Amino acid sequence: MKRTLTIVALSLAAQSAVAGCFGNGSFKTCTDDSGNTYNIQRFGNTTHLDGYSTNGSHWSQDSSTIGNTTYHNGYSADGNSWNGTTTTIGGSTFHSGTDSNGNSYQSTCNQYGCY
């Protein structure tokens, strides 16, 4: 769940922090207020993100959307892999996957919150 929220936050930060980004719709480089850098490449329904922190660590994420489902996978800064799926049906969004520590997660979010 925490990883999914991070993914969503990074996606929103990359879109809303336009002043901290340069590039175009297919390739952007963004820097956040902490000095972390994100390289974002978009190819059709697929997005690849490489993140670099100020202490030298690196992480990555690939996302592909088919219909109402987005498949995420990547590597955390410690080199562990993770994966997840996000599906939206009506007003509900379902998250599930495995975090970089090997723990399964699952949640549902709607207008009343997440559980």
pLDDT score for 95: 98
Predicted local confidence at residue 38, as pLDDT? 96
CA distance linking residue 30 with residue 10, whole number of Å:
10
pLDDT at site 71:
98
What confidence score (pLDDT) does residue 14 get? 45
pTM above 0.85, yes or no: no
Q: What is the pLDDT of residue 20?
A: 92
Strand (E) or helix (H) holding 40: strand 37-43
pLDDT of residue 1: 47
Burial label for 101, CB within 10 Å (0-12, 13-18, 19+), is exposed
Predicted confidence at residue 47, as pLDDT, reads 97
C-alpha–C-alpha distance, residues 67 and 108, integer Å = 18
- Could you list the mean pLDDT of each consecutive 10-residue stretch along the chain, which spans 115 residues? 46 51 95 95 97 96 98 97 98 98 98 96
